Amino acid sequence: MKNKYKCCFCTKEIKTTNIDVTSLIVISNWDKSKGKQHEQQLFCHMECLKKHVNSKVPLYVSDIYDE
């Protein structure tokens, strides 16, 4: 059974035939002990991530995508 992924930015399905299933791990309470942290994994298109991250913030993983 093939997994289906939905982009957390545009809500469209992400095709799994290329590099485009991008995962974001969000951790709350980063500066607290592990017992107080909570995490959630989100998926997105690389293009959607690049659109939403400020251009002044380096997004090194997109360099691999652009090759």
- Residue 65 above 70 pLDDT? no
Question: Residue 57: helix, strand or coil by DSSP?
Answer: coil
Q: What pTM was computed for the model? A: 0.78
How far is the CA of 61 from the CAs of 30, 47, 49, 65, in angstroms? 22, 12, 10, 7
Rounded Cα–Cα distance for residues 28 and 30 (Å): 5
| pLDDT tens per residue, range 34-62 | 999 999 999 999 889 999 999 999 988 87
Write down the domain spans for the chain.
5-66
